[in-house]
């Protein structure tokens, strides 16, 4: 059950004194009484809990110290900020003790949070997954396999953070360090033995992983995304590579099918185990897909010294077998035998549910098209999905999608081109236009789609109408894939968050068409 809270915290935290923190992190303590202590850390004034240290840091839009009055009102016991922030706190008349940092508070956040939450003593196995597409999928597969092996598991993904039955919706793919350490502390209380964590490139460069050391990290693939933040592919790649260092992880697993994967394996500073899915590629482990349909994919994985696993995943696409293989090898590298995993599964079937990733909304066996909702929003994800569908779709492929406003604009034409090259019909609609005119975003996607000279190209801005249009164009046996919104429950338009769930919308439209009970 999702609680609606912004972060998961330990229920019985241990107080740590401000004097102790000031000494350990060389902070100037202003107005801190000898017995002043904190029990939690928050970076967001809206998520402050009683007893917290509120960290007010300068950002691109605001100085966090501006929100000190709200933090104080919600029960913060002290503020950690820089000199400019301390002046803002004073000017706002907030009477809390202030710890002043000479460096950007972001650089201290991870270690300070680890100290407050005591997470350095947490001995669970930590698994981190990075790459451009498929991180969320690997994280859910990891969690499922760890459960099969008999371990109590936790996870942090783009879709949600999960500790046993406690679930919250995620804001960021990788939480800020304060949220991550709070989550780990709660996992420690609940005796979680293994944690699967999705790692974005932003997390690596923005200190969100500080104070965390992974047992095993993995890299699956790399293609264009996030150029609005990283400027060029090389900088984006460098952020992924930086996870593969001894400060962050003990060992890594890498898919070496592509030159980028081979580079990670070559340039990594930690020991690497290599997985190949392409025939003839040098690697430690090899994956072969043995059967695939729209209902899933079966595979055989073979590794060193006779290690092997024969299994299946109930989601279509060769890349899902690759995601499962990566997760299996990560467990093996962490010392969890694959036989132990297999013992917890029925004939190798991994019963994974990945929210909003190639999630089927139609009823298999119904008298209509199959309708899937997905989170793919990069050229690489479009290519992988359409290649996969090309192998298993019995009828026409209708592909509907939009693109993010205010994010990497250079990928739009390529998204349009790949969509129209791989599908029979593409329907271009709006996603999160944010501050951009929606029709301008659509125009770029349309230009790309038309350049492919293959699919029929249709423009329907309103996603609700586009869903219904897709159903009206489909016959039994056809497949509709709606890429972009995945698990999300909102559309961001001109600064407003408008409730919109693609999954609910599709279910409703299928019902209207008599295709769902
Ligand atoms: C570029 C980036 O990562 N920015 C993040 C950063 O923003 P910022 O430092 O500029 O902060 P700001 O908005 O100026 O606010 C300053 C400070 O005031 C605080 N504040 C702000 C408002 C308020 O009411 N109360 C409050 O306390 C903020 O928490 C922040 O500490 O710190 C904020 C607080 O944590 C994040 O919300 C924000 O993520 C923004 C929303 C974002 O979109 N990030 C994306 C790019 C991102 O990180 N994506 C990756 C990858 C996703 C993928 O793989 O597709 C991810 O890991 O999610
Ligand atoms: N191994 C893979 N290779 C290529 N595409 C993949 C792979 N696994 C999943 N995908 C596709 O990528 C899209 C996103 O999947 P997923 O959410 O798991 O990735 P992600 O890396 O977590 O994305 P994000 O960082 O945006 O959250 C989906 O379209 C999915 O079908």
* CATH code for position 381: 3.90.190.20
Residues 336 and 212 in one domain: yes
Cα(315)–Cα(129) distance, rounded to whole angstroms? 19
Same domain flag for 252 and 277: yes
Helix (H) or strand (E) holding 323: helix 318-333
What's the mean per-residue pLDDT of the chain? 95
Same domain (yes/no): 226, 200: yes
Provide the pLDDT for residue 5: 67
Q: Worst-scoring range by mean pLDDT, 25-29, 106-110, 362-366?
A: 362-366
Number of domains the chain is built from: 3
Indicate whether 181 belongs to any domain. yes
* Residue 340 burial (CB count, 10 A): 14
Question: Which of 393, 360, 387 has the alpha carbon at shortest distance from 482?
Answer: 360
pLDDT above 60 (res 1): no
With bands split at pLDDT 50, 70 and 90, how would you rate the model's confidence at 429? very high
What is the model's pLDDT at position 138?
Answer: 97
Q: Is the CB of 488 under 6 A from ligand 2?
A: no
2 in a domain, yes or no?
no
pLDDT score of 4 more than 50: yes
- At 278 the pLDDT is 81
User: Does residue 332 lie in a domain region?
Assistant: yes
pTM of the predicted protein model:
0.93
Residue numbers of the domain that contains 86: 16-108
Residues 318 and 372 in one domain: no
* Closest ligand 1 atom to 64 CA: 18
pLDDT of residue 67: 98
Q: Which atom belonging to ligand 1 lies closest to the Cα atom of 71?
A: 27
In this structure, is residue 1 part of a structural domain? no
What is the percent of the chain with per-residue pLDDT over 70, rounded to a whole number?
A: 99
Same domain, 96 and 137: no
In a domain, 487, yes or no: yes
**Residue 233 clears pLDDT 60, i.e. is over it:** yes
Would you call 95 helix, strand, or coil by DSSP? coil
Ligand 1 shell residues, CB under 6 Å: 43-46, 57, 59-62, 64, 67, 172-174, 176, 200, 202-203, 206, 229
> In this predicted structure, what is the pLDDT of residue 311?
97
Residue 473's pLDDT band, with cuts at 50, 70 and 90, is very high
In angstroms, the Cα distances linking 32 to 17, 77, 97, 147, 285 are 9, 10, 5, 45, 56
Per-residue model confidence as pLDDT tens digits over 197-227? 999 999 999 999 999 999 999 999 888 777 7
Q: Is residue 354 part of a domain?
A: no
Shared domain for 216 and 101, answered yes or no, is no
Q: What angle do CA 227, 228, 231 make, to 5 degrees?
A: 55
Q: Are residues 227 and 283 in the same domain?
A: yes
Task: Tell whether 279 and 338 lie within a shared domain.
Answer: yes
408 alpha carbon, closest ligand:
1
Residue 178 has pLDDT above 60, yes or no: yes
Gap from CA of 189 to ligand 2 centroid (Å): 31
What distance in Å separates the CA atoms of residue 274 and residue 429, rounded to the nearest whole number? 39
One domain, residues 469 and 442: yes
In 188-280 the beta strands, taken as DSSP E runs, fall at 194-198, 214-219, 249-255, 272-276
Measuring CA to CA, which residue among 456, 462, 461, 487 is closest to residue 474?
456
Domain-terminating residue out of 313, 343, 373:
343
Percent of the chain surpassing pLDDT 90:
89
Supply the CATH number for residue 46's domain.
3.40.1390.10
- Do 61 and 175 share a structural domain? no
Last residue in a domain, options 51, 86, 108: 108
Q: Which ligand is nearest to the CA of 157?
A: 2
Q: What is the rounded CA–CA span in Å between residue 81 and residue 264?
A: 36
For residue 171, name the pLDDT band (cuts at 50, 70, 90): confident
In the prediction, which pLDDT does 227 show? 78
Whole-number Å distance, alpha carbon 380 to ligand 2 midpoint, is: 9
* Rg of the chain, C-alpha, whole Å: 24
Q: CATH number of the domain at 240, please.
A: 3.40.1190.10
Grade residue 3 by pLDDT with cuts at 50, 70 and 90.
very low
CA-wise closest residue to 198 among 135, 149, 147: 135
CA distance 19 to 34: 7
Q: Whose CA is nearest to atom 19 of ligand 1?
A: 64
Q: Of 108, 143, 171, which residue constitutes the final position of a domain? A: 108
Which range, of 166-170, 241-245, 296-300, averages the lowest pLDDT? 166-170
DSSP 383: H
Q: Which residues contact 496 (CB under 8 A, 6 or more apart)?
A: none
ipTM above 0.90? Answer: yes
Are residues 255 and 143 part of one domain?
yes
- Does residue 169 carry a pLDDT above 50? yes
Q: Across residues 52-66, what is the average pLDDT?
A: 96
Tell whether residue 208 is among the known ligand binding residues.
yes
CA distance 161 to 192: 13
Is 352 inside any structural domain? no
Ligand 1 pocket check: which of 59, 60, 173, 492 to mutate, most ligand atoms within 8 Å of Cβ?
59
Ligand nearest the Cα of residue 483 is 2
| Res. 456: pLDDT tops 50 | yes
Q: Is the pLDDT of residue 256 over 70?
A: yes
Which one, of 195, 192, 201, 139, lies nearest residue 326 by Cα? Answer: 139
- Check residue 351 and give its pLDDT: 97
200 is in an annotated binding site: yes
Ligand 1 atom 52: residue of nearest CA:
173
Are 137 and 236 contained in the same domain?
yes
CA contacts within 13 A on the Cβ side of 142 = 33
Token pair in block for residue 133: 């597409």
- Does some domain include residue 508? yes
């Amino acid at each position: 059950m999702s609680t609606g809270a912004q972060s998961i915290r330990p229920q019985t935290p241990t107080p740590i004194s401000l004097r102790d923190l000031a000494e350990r992190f060389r902070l100037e303590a202003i107005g801190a009484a000898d017995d002043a202590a904190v029990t939690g850390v928050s970076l967001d004034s809206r998520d402050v809990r009683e007893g917290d240290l509120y960290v007010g840091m300068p950002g691109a839009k605001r100085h966090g110290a501006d929100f000190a009055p709200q933090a104080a009102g919600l029960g913060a016991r002290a503020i950690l900020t820089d000199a400019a922030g301390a002046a803002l706190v004073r000017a706002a008349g907030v009477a809390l003790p202030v710890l002043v940092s000479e460096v950007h508070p972001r650089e201290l956040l991870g270690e300070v949070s680890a100290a407050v939450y005591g997470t350095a003593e947490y001995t669970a196995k930590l698994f981190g997954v990075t790459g451009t597409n498929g991180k969320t999928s690997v994280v859910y597969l990891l969690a499922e396999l760890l459960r099969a092996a008999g371990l109590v598991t936790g996870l942090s993904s783009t879709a949600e953070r999960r500790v046993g039955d406690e679930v919250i919706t995620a804001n960021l793919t990788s939480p800020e360090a304060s949220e991550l350490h709070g989550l780990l502390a709660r996992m420690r209380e609940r005796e979680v033995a293994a944690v699967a964590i999705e790692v974005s490139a932003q997390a690596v460069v923005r200190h969100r992983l500080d104070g965390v050391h992974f047992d095993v990290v993995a890299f699956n693939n790399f293609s264009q995304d996030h150029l609005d933040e990283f400027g060029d592919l090389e900088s984006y790649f460098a952020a992924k590579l930086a996870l593969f260092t001894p400060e962050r992880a003990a060992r890594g697993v890498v898919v070496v099918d592509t030159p980028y994967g081979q580079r990670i394996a070559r340039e990594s500073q930690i020991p690497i185990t290599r997985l190949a899915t392409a025939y003839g590629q040098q690697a430690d482990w090899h994956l072969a897909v043995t059967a695939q349909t729209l209902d899933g994919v079966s595979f055989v994985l073979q590794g060193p010294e006779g290690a092997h696993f024969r299994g299946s995943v109930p989601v279509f696409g060769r890349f899902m077998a690759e995601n499962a293989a990566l997760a299996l090898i990560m467990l093996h590298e962490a010392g969890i035998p694959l036989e132990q995993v297999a013992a917890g599964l029925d004939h190798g079937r991994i019963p994974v549910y990945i929210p909003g990733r190639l999630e089927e909304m139609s009823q298999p066996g119904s008298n209509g098209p199959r309708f899937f909702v997905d989170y793919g929003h990069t050229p690489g994800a479009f290519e992988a999905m359409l290649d996969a569908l090309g192998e298993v779709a019995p009828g026409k492929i209708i592909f509907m999608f939009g693109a993010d406003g205010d994010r990497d604009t250079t990928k739009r034409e390529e998204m349009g081109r790949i969509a129209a090259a791989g599908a029979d019909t593409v329907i271009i609609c709006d996603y999160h236009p944010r501050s951009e005119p929606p029709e301008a975003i659509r125009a770029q996607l349309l230009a790309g789609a038309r350049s492919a000279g293959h699919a029929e190209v249709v423009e329907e801005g309103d996603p609700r109408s586009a869903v219904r249009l897709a159903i009206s164009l489909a016959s039994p046996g056809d497949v509709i894939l709606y890429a972009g919104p995945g698990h999300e429950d909102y559309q961001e338009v001109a600064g407003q968050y408008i409730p919109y769930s693609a999954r609910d919308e599709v279910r409703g439209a299928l019902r209207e068409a008599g295709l769902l009970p």
